[in-house]
């Protein structure tokens, strides 16, 4: 039994959908060209005019947008509307010090809530459900994204935010939670703590969980479903595009339905920028057809996937994207937080006496990701007093925490103990088993 939140959009005839996408793209291009200097510049460089774009088939003529464009436009350079129309701001990690900033108009919030409501519907959610939302509330789009989507659906939302696991479990039992939303690794932690507390989490009436914000595997899904006795739904999004609600698995659990009337997907060869053949793997590029504050053209997500064109048994007509299989860049996702090695490097370089030799290790202990940074101790910073070395270690730890928003273990190592490489230094070691 499937519940489709918005059948007229989600089950739209494909040719009707294409007509709608064409209409929306034509309008989007006009708004982007006339209101965002970056796009005007790019169009002029390429010698294209907004009028040249008359259908969705013309999309490949348009320039790409990248995370670097967000950085260069910091904070509001990509906004196409007067500031008085912006009702909310969110931000995510940038590649260096400055975060990636996104803004929303009143209509953007409505679109966002709609697409997250569809996401919850994809997992069988209705107004009769109680969603415990354990995504972080704040600048991160996960918490508020799920929150508004849940209210739009008409279900009851418990705005728990992340952490505080024992209380999460208590409220789950007391409030009759039927849906949960959090990172997949936190779902496993909930199961672990429940076991420690002697709570049989399998017996709770939770039907489905909406898991995203970090990569996870089919094997991890099996584990979560076995331990929590629920349907584990893979959801996808990112703040540059909107937040959660770009695509979601349905109960068939075979690919994530793109909400194509708002988010138009393409798959390109990341090296050439040329669209690949249907069904081929490549980098996901998304155009936000309806966004007002930031009319985003062909955003390069750096996520690797492929599109599934065949109709789905659930009745939705939208194309599906396969589970993300990797990244084209070096971004790490640690406990749901986006981390770029370059951010860590810029912190270390500000600490006096630190050699530019470091290594980043990510591992998973139990259900939690651990970040360890090994830093070489140079002649300059070495002290015969343990206290001074410890102070330095703590200083690095505090700087990393304030930059990344997560704790890291800092290990001081002997100079030259980190292997010197001839070419590109291998600094990042992700030891998390991809098969777990």
Peptide bond into 66 cis (omega under 30): no
CA-closest candidate to residue 122, choices 241, 244, 223:
244
Beta bridge partners of 282: 305
Of 414, 419, 424, 435, the residue at the interface with another protein (CB under 8 A) is 414
Stretch that binds another protein, among 2-10, 84-92, 293-301, 414-422 (CB under 8 A): 414-422
Of 55, 164, 222, 411, the residue at the interface with another protein (CB under 8 A) is 411
Contact call for residue 365 and another protein (CB under 8 A): no
CB nearer to another protein: give 350 or 411: 411
CB nearer to another protein: give 37 or 415: 415
Q: 263 to 322, contacts with another protein by CB under 8 A?
A: none
- What H or E segment, with its residue span, contains residue 173? helix 165-175
**Torsion angle (degrees, nearest 10) of CA 42, 247, 341, 372:** 170
Of 15, 84, 272, 379, the residue at the interface with another protein (CB under 8 A) is 379
Report how far apart, in Å, the C-alpha atoms of 298 and of each of 162, 305, 368 are.
32, 16, 34
How far apart are CB 384 and another protein at their closest, in Å? 3
Stretch that binds another protein, among 85-93, 133-141, 247-255, 374-382 (CB under 8 A): 374-382
Three-state SS at 92 = strand
Stretch that binds another protein, among 113-121, 259-267, 283-291, 415-423 (CB under 8 A): 415-423
Contact call for residue 48 and another protein (CB under 8 A): no
Q: How many CB atoms lie within 10 A of CB 85?
A: 16
Contact call for residue 195 and another protein (CB under 8 A): no
Contact call for residue 84 and another protein (CB under 8 A): no
Three-state SS at 342 = helix
CA atoms within 13 A on the CB side of 322: 18
Contact track, another protein, 380-409, x by CB under 8 A: --xxxxxx-xx-------------------
Lookup: tokens for 431: 């030891």
How far apart are CB 377 and another protein at their closest, in Å? 5
How far apart are CB 375 and another protein at their closest, in Å? 11
Q: Phi/psi of residue 117, each to 5°?
A: -60, -40
Lookup: tokens for 2: 């499937």
Those residues whose C-beta lies under 8 Å from the C-beta of residue 226, and which sit 6 or more positions away, are: none
Of 377, 400, 408, 418, the residue at the interface with another protein (CB under 8 A) is 377
Residues that bind another protein (CB under 8 A): 377-379, 382-387, 389-390, 411-417
């Amino acid at each position: 039994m499937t519940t489709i939140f918005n059948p007229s959009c989600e089950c739209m005839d494909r040719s009707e959908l294409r007509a709608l996408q064409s209409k929306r793209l034509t309008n989007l291009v006009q708004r982007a060209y006339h209101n965002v200097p970056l796009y005007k510049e790019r169009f002029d460089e390429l010698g294209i005019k907004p009028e040249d774009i008359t259908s969705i088939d013309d999309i490949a003529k348009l320039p790409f947008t990248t995370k670097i464009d967000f950085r260069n436009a910091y904070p509001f350079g990509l906004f196409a509307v007067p500031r008085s129309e912006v009702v909310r701001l969110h931000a995510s990690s940038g590649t260096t010090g400055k975060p990636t900033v996104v803004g929303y108009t009143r209509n953007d919030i409505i679109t966002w809530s709609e697409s997250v409501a569809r996401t919850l519907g994809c997992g069988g959610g209705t107004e009769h459900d109680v969603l415990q939302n354990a995504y972080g509330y704040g600048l991160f789009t996960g918490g508020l994204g799920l929150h508004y989507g849940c209210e739009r659906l008409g279900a009851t939302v418990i705005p728990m935010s992340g952490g505080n696991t024992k209380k999460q479990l208590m409220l789950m039992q007391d409030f009759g939670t039927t849906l949960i939303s959090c990172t997949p690794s936190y779902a496993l932690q909930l199961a672990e703590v429940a076991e420690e507390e002697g709570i049989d989490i399998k017996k709770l009436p939770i039907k489905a969980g909406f898991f995203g914000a970090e990569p996870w595997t089919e094997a991890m899904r099996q584990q979560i479903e076995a331990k929590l006795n629920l349907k584990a739904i893979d959801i996808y999004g990112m703040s540059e595009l909107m937040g959660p609600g770009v695509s979601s698995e349905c109960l068939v659990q075979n690919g994530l339905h793109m909400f194509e009337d708002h988010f138009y997907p393409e798959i390109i060869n990341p090296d050439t920028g040329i669209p690949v053949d249907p069904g081929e793997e490549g980098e996901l590029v998304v155009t936000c057809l309806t966004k007002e504050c930031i009319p985003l053209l062909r955003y390069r997500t750096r996520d690797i996937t492929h599109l599934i064109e065949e109709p789905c048994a659930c009745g939705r007509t939208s194309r599906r994207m396969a589970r993300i299989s990797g990244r084209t860049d070096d971004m790490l996702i640690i406990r749901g937080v986006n981390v770029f090695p370059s951010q860590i490097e810029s912190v270390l370089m500000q600490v006096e006496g630190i050699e530019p030799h470091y290594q980043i290790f990510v591992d998973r202990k139990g259900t939690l990701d651990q970040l360890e940074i090994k830093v070489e101790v140079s002649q300059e910073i070495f002290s015969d007093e343990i206290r001074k070395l410890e102070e330095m270690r703590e200083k690095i730890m505090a700087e990393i925490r304030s930059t990344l928003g997560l704790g890291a273990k800092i290990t001081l190592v002997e100079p030259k103990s980190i292997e010197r490489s001839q070419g590109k230094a291998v600094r990042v070691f992700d030891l998390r088993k991809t098969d777990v």
